[in-house]
Structure 1
Amino acid sequence: MNVIGFKEAKCRNCYKCVRTCEVKAITVKNEQAQIMNDKCILCGHCLEACPQNAKTFISDLDKVKGYLRDNIPTVISIAPAYLGILKYKTPGQVITALMKLGFSMVRETAEGAAFVTEEYEKLLTAGTMNNIITTCCPSVNDLIEIYYPSLTKYMAPVDSPMIAHGKLIRKELGHDVKIVFLGPCIAKKREAESDPRTVGFVDAVINFPEVEQWLKEKNIDIMEQEDTLPHNPDPQVNRLYPISSGVLSSVVTSKKKPDNYRKFYVHGIKNCIELFESMERGEVSGCFIEADICNGGCIKGSAVDRESISRFKVKLDLEEAVPKKPLSDPDFYDRAKGISFHKVFLNRSPKDPLPSEEEINHILSKIGKTKPEDELNCGACGYSSCREKAIAVYQGKAELTMCIPYMHEKAQSMANVVLDTTPNIIILADSELKIVEFSGAAESYFHIPRCKAKEMYLYEIINHTDFLEVLSSHNPIMGKKVEYPEIGLTTLQNIVYVQEQNAVLGIFQDITMEEEKIKQAYKVKVDTIEMAQKVIDKQMLVAQQIAGLLGETTAETKVTLTKLRDTILYDGIEQPKKKTV
């Protein structure tokens, strides 16, 4: 069963969850970071770290509302962390508010913690275990069973307070009642609903933020409620379980006989890992150890807003409010007769294959790491060393492309190839018009080395007016023809604004030859037109000359023919005399 949900569309390949996860229980496949349930200890750090909320807690709230809607008797077991997380004037106001939501009974999980304390006392009195690690925190239990299985022999074989409380309520009220746990921890959901050793005693798990939102929806203000006592005997000092050293305080206060164990607490996943590694080396013995994954204890649990809670203030307030007195009710423990709070812890370590030295080197070589000095061990991928990451690649947990320095170098190399080989002039200038990039073609045309150009401003090389306009307006200038007569260059320019860098990119295409061809073609046209005009003019002149000659010969012909006609008509006849006017 999944406790943390995953939304593929929101995962942006940032590896922040991998960097955050101390046990590397996240696999990256097809650039998607997903949780490996069999390796996850449900510390909740990936939920907190994910900037895109791609990982979310799978809630039981709708299931709980369904119980109440169907009028099923439902008991809520409220973790003692409520005393430091919820806002109230008196703790009884919280009990009243929960009753108004529809719960038939509100009982404190600290009631179950009292029976856990009693079991710890028995272990301390018996003194048969070399070390005793408390087993209240399911994430600590997972950490040991999965990653430090050699230490399971030191785990107190005792149920957590939640399960102990569930067993007690189940005995008293039967199986027709639904039992809901309200607490600050997401790991409780797996313990209650999918661990075969503890399943069946708690039906659903919800957290404090969910209940606060639920109360808000129902217009129930805790601060305005009357004071109501919980439906359980006073568990006294066992209400201190959620703060650092709270378990120790409960055990020491309730202990009737002295023991020889040294006692200390360890909180926070890194501290727990450090301790367990030390214990594996045999450096710790004769100790009773309170262990909790969350810094400051359950009060800073994985399902609460950790930033809004001061563990120091809560610790001081709770220690002041909760008297360190042993249980005074002689009948308190009699109610659990016949209930076993015993739990067996197992070796659940994964059997991942390990690569040989040759296989590790082969994987490293694929990302350009052929020498020890190439292994930066920067941790950007989420793994502490390049070799650790290579092992994860071999095991199918990671991808080669997760190496950010390698991908950056590859991208930079590709960019340099483009800048060096493109025939176009490429110039990138920042918001102050200082040159950021200068392509190989730009070096060739302007006769300025790239290294020197990147120390210059744009206006020192070319007219920067168009670049300044694009920088100001963010509107591109496309297909503008610009000439540089001093170097015999004509360009077709596209200038665009680069929003991500607040810069201006200019791409100039050399069209000098095309322009020369156009000019030559135009000259040929002009020359042809001039030649045609000369031919036309000459033809007109010839035509005029021919017309003149034809006019003269026509007149002469007319005179001659007229004379010939008259000779024929008037042969022997006196021709009429022309009248004189």
Structure 2
Amino acid sequence: MRVIDFRDAKCRHCYKCVRHCAVKAISVKDEQAHIMIDHCINCGRCLEVCPQNAKTFASDMDRVKGYLRQGFKTIISIAPSYAGVLEFDRPGQVVDALLKLGFAEVRETAEGAAMVTNEYKKIIRENKMPNIITTCCPSVNDLIEKYYPECVPLMAPVVSPMIAHGRYIKKLYGNDVKVVFLGPCIAKKQEAIGDERVFGAIDAILTFEELAIWLEEAGIDIHQCEEKPMGNPDPKINRLYPVSGGIVQSVVTEEEADEYHKVYVDGLENCMEMLECLKQGELTHCFIEANVCEGGCAKGPASARWNTSYVKAKVKIENEVSHKAAKELPDMSTEELKKKFQDNRLTDRMPTEADIREILKSTGKYTPEDELNCGACGYPTCRDKATAVFQGKAELSMCMPYALNQAESMSNVVMDVTPNMIFVIGSDLKILDCNKKAQELLGVGREEAVQRYIFEFIETQDIEETLRTKEPVIHKKIRLEHGKMTAEETIVYIENLDSVLVTFQDVTREEKMKEQHYNLKVETVEMAQKVIEKQMMVAQEIAGLLGETTAETKVTLTKLRDSILEEED
């Protein structure tokens, strides 16, 4: 199922999501980013960093409201991270707010954590596994199954606290009850609905962000609510699960302390580094708490709206926790809490060396020295990006240096082939830049030209006037090369450079043709004048014979002459 994705956005030349996706589960097609479901571990990092806020999330809000409208007994399993994320005066106010929304009961997911803790302790006491990786974080579980399948045998075969709690609530109240998990994690959606191994334990997922929207719509202020108790016994130290190191503290007591070395790792890159160490056999007999989110679940991607400080959240959660083991454990067997993890490794088609070289050549990389490995495209090396192009995940145009070179090359081509003379002149009248045609006008190369002043070559009254007034000069006729060239002068002020762009368009040929055309018309007029004079003489003679006036003939012929001259104007 598709839990998260991007709306249509201006992804061209951005690729921030690709850069921040450690597993490269984002493809770019037609300049639009898309999440590849089979590659994604639903950590939500891409959605946090997207500068256009182009995220979409498969919300269960309508489903949950539907359960309540239809009268289903619906129970909330609330993640213990609520204590560090939501704003309240007393924890029980959160319970009252949820009851006001229509839920039948509010229970802490930490109750499920207590069951998981008990199972972890059993595994530690058995002392059969060379290393034990906790399996509470669904993103870590996906990471191992898809990208580090060699480490699957090291995963504790236990469901997450959410699944344990959902199964227990349904065992307690019957399968007709609806269980809704409320927390800061978007990966829980995939775990609850998309994983057939645990399907049915949880009916819907709500995030803390969605809860805030719902409470606002319903006009419920948590601070104005009464304090009401949770529906479960105190899970005590198991409320520490959402903070970094909280699982280790809950599980490894003095009794188990000597059995395994306790380690907690949070942050995706750190988890990947830890898994690489396990692959290489560099860690032995460790109990490893692994969490994709830095700082633990308290910094989950659906909690950032309120909590900007992990330290603040950690302190708030720890203030609500009793550092004692839970006494009243729910009646759940090891079999009911078991989960078998599996090798789900990806099988992407890999390019040959010839394929990679061909793709690299397409972006101007012919030698290893051409491979800048700048990472702007989102991939660590040019070869990695070429592999992604081969697999259909990336586009050639994503290479920023190549795109820039192409743009600059096209700009240089235009500048070099244009027949116009183009200068950029500074406020001190120094030549800042000029194209080839301009260099021909000056009679010097670019390197020498940019060391000299424009007034050494041409008159500069118009340039100085534009620099002073910032008013442009448009298509003004001037003479250059000591009167040998006629040019149309255009001068535009460049504000951010305090300089001017000067363009001279050589119109000498056009002016000569216009002059020749004018001379031809003058000759025609002169010939017409002679015809008029002859006609006048003839007309006078004819007029005398016909009784017509000479004036009428003169007016007609004069109009003919004037019409020819008016064409020039």
Partner of residue 314, structure 2: 315
Max Rg structure: 1
**Bigger mean CA offset, 295-304 vs 393-402:** 393-402
State the 1:103 CA deviation.
Answer: 1.1
**Bigger mean CA offset, 404-413 vs 279-288:** 404-413
What is the alpha-carbon distance in structure 2 between the residues aligned to residue 497 and residue 62 of structure 1? 58
State the 1:269 CA deviation.
Answer: 0.7
> Could you tell me whether the CA contact under 8 Å between 2:41 and 2:142 is conserved in 1?
yes
What is the alpha-carbon distance in structure 2 between the residues aligned to residue 211 and residue 121 of structure 1? 34
Partner of residue 482, structure 1: 477
- Confirm whether residue 228 of structure 1 aligns to residue 228 of structure 2: yes
State the 1:62 CA deviation.
Answer: 1.9
**Letter paired with 1:226:** E
CA-to-aligned-CA distance 1:307-347 (integer Å, 9 cap, x gap) = 84311232233334312111233xx33x3258611111111
Partner of residue 60, structure 2: 60
- Confirm whether residue 77 of structure 1 aligns to residue 73 of structure 2: no
Residues 363 and 250 of structure 1, relative CA distance in 2, 3 Å threshold: same
**Bigger mean CA offset, 218-227 vs 439-448:** 439-448
State the 1:506 CA deviation.
Answer: 5.7
> Could you tell me whether the CA contact under 8 Å between 1:425 and 1:439 is conserved in 2?
yes
SS across alignment from 2:295: coil
What is the alpha-carbon distance in structure 2 between the residues aligned to residue 30 and residue 23 of structure 1? 21
> Could you tell me whether the CA contact under 8 Å between 1:85 and 1:309 is conserved in 2?
no
What is the alpha-carbon distance in structure 2 between the residues aligned to residue 296 and residue 540 of structure 1? 109
Paired residues, what number?
A: 539
Residues 118 and 432 of structure 1, relative CA distance in 2, 3 Å threshold: farther
State the 1:413 CA deviation.
Answer: 1.3
**Letter paired with 1:54:** A
Residues 467 and 182 of structure 1, relative CA distance in 2, 3 Å threshold: farther
**Letter paired with 1:425:** M
> Could you tell me whether the CA contact under 8 Å between 1:237 and 1:322 is conserved in 2?
yes
Which among 379, 382, 392 is matched to residue 378 of structure 2? 382
Partner of residue 259, structure 2: 260
State the 1:487 CA deviation.
Answer: 5.5
What is the alpha-carbon distance in structure 1 between the residues aligned to residue 58 and residue 479 of structure 2? 65
Partner of residue 553, structure 1: none
**Letter paired with 2:463:** H
Partner of residue 4, structure 1: 4
State the 1:31 CA deviation.
Answer: 2.0
Partner of residue 135, structure 2: 135
State the 1:363 CA deviation.
Answer: 1.8
What is the alpha-carbon distance in structure 1 between the residues aligned to residue 285 and residue 469 of structure 2? 74
**Letter paired with 1:295:** E
What is the alpha-carbon distance in structure 1 between the residues aligned to residue 215 and residue 454 of structure 2? 62
State the 1:9 CA deviation.
Answer: 4.5
**Letter paired with 2:184:** P
Residues 394 and 66 of structure 1, relative CA distance in 2, 3 Å threshold: same
Which among 506, 517, 526 is matched to residue 510 of structure 1? 506
> Could you tell me whether the CA contact under 8 Å between 2:5 and 2:34 is conserved in 1?
no
What is the TM-score of this pair, normalised by structure 1?
A: 0.85
What is the alpha-carbon distance in structure 1 between the residues aligned to residue 226 and residue 452 of structure 2? 75
> Could you tell me whether the CA contact under 8 Å between 2:491 and 2:500 is conserved in 1?
yes
What is the alpha-carbon distance in structure 1 between the residues aligned to residue 218 and residue 139 of structure 2? 33
State the 1:519 CA deviation.
Answer: 2.2
What is the alpha-carbon distance in structure 2 between the residues aligned to residue 83 and residue 28 of structure 1? 39
Which among 326, 333, 344 is matched to residue 340 of structure 2? 344
Which among 446, 453, 462 is matched to residue 450 of structure 1? 446
What is the alpha-carbon distance in structure 2 between the residues aligned to residue 446 and residue 55 of structure 1? 56
State the 1:274 CA deviation.
Answer: 0.9
Residues 482 and 310 of structure 1, relative CA distance in 2, 3 Å threshold: same
- Confirm whether residue 289 of structure 1 aligns to residue 288 of structure 2: yes
- Confirm whether residue 29 of structure 1 aligns to residue 29 of structure 2: yes
CA-to-aligned-CA distance 1:228-255 (integer Å, 9 cap, x gap) = 11111111111110001110111134x7
State the 1:166 CA deviation.
Answer: 0.6
Which structure 1 residue ranges, 5 or more long, are not aligned? 546-581
> Could you tell me whether the CA contact under 8 Å between 1:10 and 1:53 is conserved in 2?
no
Percent sequence identity over matched residues? Answer: 53
**Letter paired with 1:520:** Q
Residues 257 and 522 of structure 1, relative CA distance in 2, 3 Å threshold: closer
Partner of residue 558, structure 2: none
**Letter paired with 2:274:** L
> Could you tell me whether the CA contact under 8 Å between 2:466 and 2:491 is conserved in 1?
yes
SS across alignment from 1:398: coil
- Confirm whether residue 519 of structure 1 aligns to residue 515 of structure 2: yes
Residues 115 and 494 of structure 1, relative CA distance in 2, 3 Å threshold: farther
Residues 449 and 251 of structure 1, relative CA distance in 2, 3 Å threshold: same
**Bigger mean CA offset, 509-518 vs 9-18:** 9-18
What is the TM-score of this pair, normalised by structure 2?
A: 0.86
**Bigger mean CA offset, 167-176 vs 355-364:** 355-364
What is the alpha-carbon distance in structure 1 between the residues aligned to residue 465 and residue 272 of structure 2? 60
Partner of residue 393, structure 1: 389
Which structure 2 residue ranges, 5 or more long, are not aligned? 542-569
What is the alpha-carbon distance in structure 2 between the residues aligned to residue 220 and residue 148 of structure 1? 45
> Could you tell me whether the CA contact under 8 Å between 2:146 and 2:346 is conserved in 1?
yes
> Could you tell me whether the CA contact under 8 Å between 2:93 and 2:228 is conserved in 1?
yes
Partner of residue 156, structure 1: 156
What is the alpha-carbon distance in structure 2 between the residues aligned to residue 120 and residue 432 of structure 1? 77
SS across alignment from 1:336: coil
CA-to-aligned-CA distance 1:127-172 (integer Å, 9 cap, x gap) = 1000001010001111111111000111111100111111011111
**Letter paired with 1:369:** K
Partner of residue 364, structure 1: 360
SS across alignment from 1:8: coil
> Could you tell me whether the CA contact under 8 Å between 1:13 and 1:33 is conserved in 2?
no
State the 1:489 CA deviation.
Answer: 3.4
Residues 268 and 350 of structure 1, relative CA distance in 2, 3 Å threshold: same
State the 1:401 CA deviation.
Answer: 1.7
